[in-house]
Amino acid sequence: MRINQKYRMLQESYLFSSIQKKVSAYQEKNPSAEIIRLGIGDVTRPLCPAAIAAMHKAVDEMAEAATFRGYGPEQGYDFLRTKIQQYYQKKNVRLSLEEIFISDGAKSDLGNILDLFAKENRVLIPSPVYPVYVDTNLMDGREIVYMEASKDNGFLPMPCEDVKADIIYLCSPNNPTGAVYTRAQLQKWVDYAIRQDAVLLFDAAYEAFITDSGCPKSIYEIEGAEACAIEFCSLSKTAGFTGTRCGYTIVPSALKRDGDCLQKMWLRRQTTKFNGVPYIVQRGAEAVFSEEGMAQCRDNIKQYQKNAQVIAKTLDMLGIWYVGGENSPYIWMECPNGMSSWEFFDDLLERANVVGTPGIGFGENGDGFFRLTAFGTQEATQMAMERLKEVYGK
Amino acid sequence: MRINQKYRMLQESYLFSSIQKKVSAYQEKNPSAEIIRLGIGDVTRPLCPAAIAAMHKAVDEMAEAATFRGYGPEQGYDFLRTKIQQYYQKKNVRLSLEEIFISDGAKSDLGNILDLFAKENRVLIPSPVYPVYVDTNLMDGREIVYMEASKDNGFLPMPCEDVKADIIYLCSPNNPTGAVYTRAQLQKWVDYAIRQDAVLLFDAAYEAFITDSGCPKSIYEIEGAEACAIEFCSLSKTAGFTGTRCGYTIVPSALKRDGDCLQKMWLRRQTTKFNGVPYIVQRGAEAVFSEEGMAQCRDNIKQYQKNAQVIAKTLDMLGIWYVGGENSPYIWMECPNGMSSWEFFDDLLERANVVGTPGIGFGENGDGFFRLTAFGTQEATQMAMERLKEVYGK
């Protein structure tokens, strides 16, 4: 018996445990300090009333033999796929139902999609990056090439014709940087992917935060994308489903590689290794896409967007460079006074009692930068920014 | 870009679509025929009241900021893992919490666990078999060796020292045959796995149907199993969770191969490619394991067991050979009069208007056999058996 020794290539991430240890130690020494956390990537606002009502109804259905639901289709119920189809129609993207796969979240599908690709493929990943892209490829032993995101390119790396790639990851709005690609930029990526015969894995988990019409919410708004891109989306940030677990993945029928149709392969993967999302959750997700549900979710998102604006205005006032915040719940700021990510973490914790996420936790390119999130409450965000002004405003 | 060409080795299964086509064609020609389906592997009884109440409560919690739950631990909440720990204690199996992983079902984990193993491993799989064992290994390109289950060995194949294996699948109570291994038999399998340095993947999805104390409900009731076995279990059949989606996988800390601890590897896999089971569902599952919930689930299972007894008695009366039915919801019968699986399917449909599953759909070894399930209603099962007696009782 041999294990998959590729797992030995994985590095343990101590990012969030290191943060927790530092915060706990500080709190112990300073029991009266009111620490505000702007580091979490999790939402804080409850589910919208439409989803709550729909899930209660679905739970009741499960209590009666006449309305009970057993095994559902692995790729999701048509009642939900139809809603997502309509959601895309509003972005002028036409999808057939079989191109829409309901998932238990973008993270699962981003990992599992790699089942479809040979291990010999070369993977292009931006840095800093959501660690899942890297780790899932290391587990398979694929070669990874990093594209450098930096202050110079606004943390939006563009394709370089000299770099050969088979699988390309893009996340826009980006986690962790909050940077968002424009239509023209994404067109260049799609054109590059087609020339390279590559598959573009497009993570659109934060699309609901885009307000600028110049920034596409779906890769399929870009000409040619249906022949090169798979899109991963989620209700986690759109509707606060981080603990309710529902997302969707689009695999276009037109996407063929190596003579095979990836939509058919993904259907085979999912029917073999997945049994679908709970009926109750799918009914909740359906309600999110109702007119009422969408309005309620937009209200929640607006609250987070207000937080992002408060953070952005504060950084503007302090003359600190940043990206994100406008079309994203994340603000990626340069650490003041040339501090490293961890130096600023300590400084911010000790002097302002505010916790954020050191940029270096997302890759070496992230050093000297810091992630703040808009997912806190309004009061906490406002208070944290007052403290920042006091400490760094001299 | 190269796809994973191993997918081309997969055969499409037309089993259930072929059944559906035949039934539809028959119904069209005979619109008044009242067809009874005893082929499905899905449950028909609703969720137990305890689970329903718990899920309503959890949905309510998601509606308020103070009780809202976002991201949970990928491996499941401790409130549920503790209940499962206690459930195992009743079987005299001691588990630590970190050995218990909450999943969205046995099917997902049975597929995903293969991430941990090298492609060069040799896989031993019984035939007939739950197709997922075969397909998930074909997707990775592993060599498969089949062990023949037959009337001679009561569809319970035993290890053969000459056969070298790295990964061994056992399912007891078995799907599709309903055959159940005794303690002595499982001890031989565990001893063999240890001698071979193999990992035993033990599918215990139907354990709740075991009534005979001589048949273990968990592989960990067997001495030495914690050093060679991973166990997959599910609430699908225990509590009717086929559409609610919750299971659990046990990876013992003592299970080491190739110098690595599989529990640590699985934790890494799940934290990287999975985001946990919905909070609402985990609360429902917790209620299943309460005293009240367990009693309610046992009542449901008893109804199914009565159906199994009705089927078994009928086959006894007709002098038809079968296994299963006693400690399992499945009855695996020999087709009467030397018919092949599909011949009997047609005969049963036309003469008794009863639908079952042809054994050949689970592998060539299944030809000449037929699967009936106890998951129908009592009335339908009773009526189907009356028809069998009439048609095959001469």
CA–CA distance, A372 with A355 (Å, rounded to integer): 8
Q: DSSP label at A374?
A: S
Mean pLDDT in residue range A310-331:
97
Strands (E), B325-392: 330-334, 354-355, 357-358, 369-373
Q: What value does the mean pLDDT take over residues B78-101?
A: 98
B303: tokens are 């109804």
| HSE, side-chain direction, 13 A CA sphere, residue B194 | 14
Cβ-Cβ contacts under 8 Å for A93 (sequence gap 6 or more)? A218, A220, A221
Mean pLDDT of chain B: 96
Closest CB to A273 among B112, B116, B279: B112
Please give the Cα distance from A101 to A84 (Å, whole number): 10
Question: Could you tell me if A238 and A354 are in contact, meaning their C-beta atoms sit under 8 angstroms apart?
Answer: no
pLDDT score of A262: 98
Contacts of A199 in chain B (CB under 8 A): 1
Model confidence pLDDT, tens digit, residues A20-33: 999 999 999 999 99
Bridge partners, B192 (sequence order): none
With 0-12 CB in 10 A as exposed, 13-18 as middle and 19+ as buried, what is B90?
exposed
Q: Which residues of A touch B287 (CB under 8 A)?
A: none
In angstroms, the CA B268 to CA B253 distance is 14
Of B44, B139, B280, the CB nearest to A244: B280
| Per-residue pLDDT tens digits for B187-206 | 999 999 999 999 999 999 99
Indicate left, alpha or beta for A339 from its phi (over 0: left) and psi (-120 to 50: alpha). beta
Phi and psi, residue A114, nearest 5°: -65, -20
Instruction: Report the C-alpha gap between B137 and B122 in whole angstroms.
Output: 10
Query: Which residue in chain B has the smallest CA separation from A122?
Result: B1
Coil, strand or helix: which one is A213?
coil
pLDDT recorded at residue B11: 86
**Could you tell me the pTM of the whole model?**
0.97
Which residue is it, tokens 């702007």?
A: A38
Beta carbons within 10 angstroms of residue A310's beta carbon:
18
CB pair distance less than 8 Å for A139 and B115:
yes
CA distance A69 to chain B (A): 6
**DSSP state, A326?**
S
Would you place residue A389 in the very low, low, confident or very high pLDDT band (cuts 50, 70, 90)? Answer: very high
Chosen for mutation from A71, A123, A304 (greatest number of chain B CBs closer than 10 Å) is A71
* pLDDT given for residue A17 in this prediction: 86
Q: What pLDDT, on the 0 to 100 scale, is given for residue A12?
A: 82
Which tens digits make up the pLDDT trace of A191-210? 999 999 999 999 999 999 99
Q: Among B44, B45, B118, select the one facing A4 at the smallest CB separation.
A: B118
Q: How far does the CA of residue A249 sit from the closest CA of chain B (Å)? A: 15
φ, ψ dihedrals at B299, nearest 5°: -60, -45
User: B63 to chain A, minimum CA–CA distance in Å?
Assistant: 5
CA distance B201 to B190: 11
Q: A331: Cβ–Cβ under 8 A, 6 or more apart, which residues? A: A178, A308, A311, A312, A315, A322, A323, A324, A325, A371, A372, A373, A374
Q: Which residues of B touch A3 (CB under 8 A)?
A: 116-118, 257-258, 260, 262, 265
**B390/A94 Cα distance (integer angstroms):** 55
Tell which of B245, B271, B375 to mutate to test the A interface (max A CBs under 10 Å): B245
Q: How far apart are CA B13 and CA B369, in angstroms?
A: 18
- Judging contacts by C-beta atoms under 8 Å, the chain A residues touching residue B262 are 3
Q: Would you say the C-alpha torsion B297, B303, B306, B311 has a positive or negative sign?
A: negative
**Dihedral sign of CA atoms B84, B106, B121, A261 in order:** negative
Which residues in chain A have their CB less than 8 angstroms from residue B196's CB?
1
- On average, the pLDDT of chain A sits at 96
Please write the tens of the pLDDT for every residue from A248-268: 999 999 999 999 999 999 999
State whether B245 and A65 contact (CB < 8 Å).
Answer: no
Rounded to whole angstroms, the Cα distance separating B53 from B64 reads: 18
pLDDT tens profile A84-126: 999 999 999 999 999 999 999 999 999 999 999 999 999 999 9
Residue B209, pLDDT above cutoff 80 = yes
Residue among A62, A117, A198 minimizing CB distance to B244? A62
- The answer to whether the beta carbons of residues A263 and A99 sit under 8 Å apart is yes
CB within 8 Å: B1 and A121: yes
Q: What is the ipTM of this complex?
A: 0.96
User: In degrees rounded to 5, what are phi and psi of residue A67?
Assistant: -115, 0
3-state SS, residue A196: helix
Q: What is the pLDDT at residue B259?
A: 94
Cβ contact (<8 Å) for A118 and B2? yes
Residue listed under structure tokens 């078995």: B174
**How many Cβ atoms sit within 10 Å of the Cβ of residue B267?**
16
B3 and A268: CB-CB below 8 Å? no
Mean pLDDT of B258-279: 97
- Contact residues on chain B for A247, CB-CB shorter than 8 A: none
Place of tokens 């020999």: B334
Phi, psi at residue A222, to the nearest 5°?
Answer: -95, 135
Amino acid at A347: D
**A204: nearest Cα among A237, A171, A176, A229:** A171
The whole-angstrom separation of Cα A340 and Cα B337 is: 81
